Amino acid sequence: MTTETIEKTYTLTIPRAQYDRLGNAEILKDDTYFRKYDPSNDTTTFVVSEDQRVRFSQYATEANRERKKTGHLYWICQMFLEENINTYMKG
């Protein structure tokens, strides 16, 4: 008998420009996250796993804010913090 672990995922919908900023910062390095683009609302829907959310949220900490190599990621990764992510979840 084998057991399967189901990984928690988040389906997020954000403005296209915000998605573009994540891509430009190389947070989202490929198209495997992308699910759809809604031209009428200019929004992008994408999926991240819990592991990815935790990794991305590490850039949104005060400790990271002052780092030269990754400090620029502080603001754009705020959405991945546990207390903020529900705002962006597809309803």
pLDDT tens digit sequence for 2-25? 666 678 999 999 999 999 998 888
For residue 19, the 8-state DSSP code is H
In this prediction, residues 69-77 reach a mean pLDDT of 88
pLDDT grade for 58, boundaries at 50, 70 and 90: very high
Q: What is the mean pLDDT of the chain?
A: 88
In terms of pLDDT, which residue wins out, 57 or 91? 57
Query: What is the pLDDT at residue 27?
Result: 82
- How far apart (Å, rounded) are the C-alpha atoms in residues 27 and 19? 10
Pairing of strands 9-15, 34-38: unpaired
Answer yes or no: are the C-beta atoms of 43 and 66 closer than 8 Å. no
Half-sphere exposure for 3 (CA within 13 Å, toward CB): 2
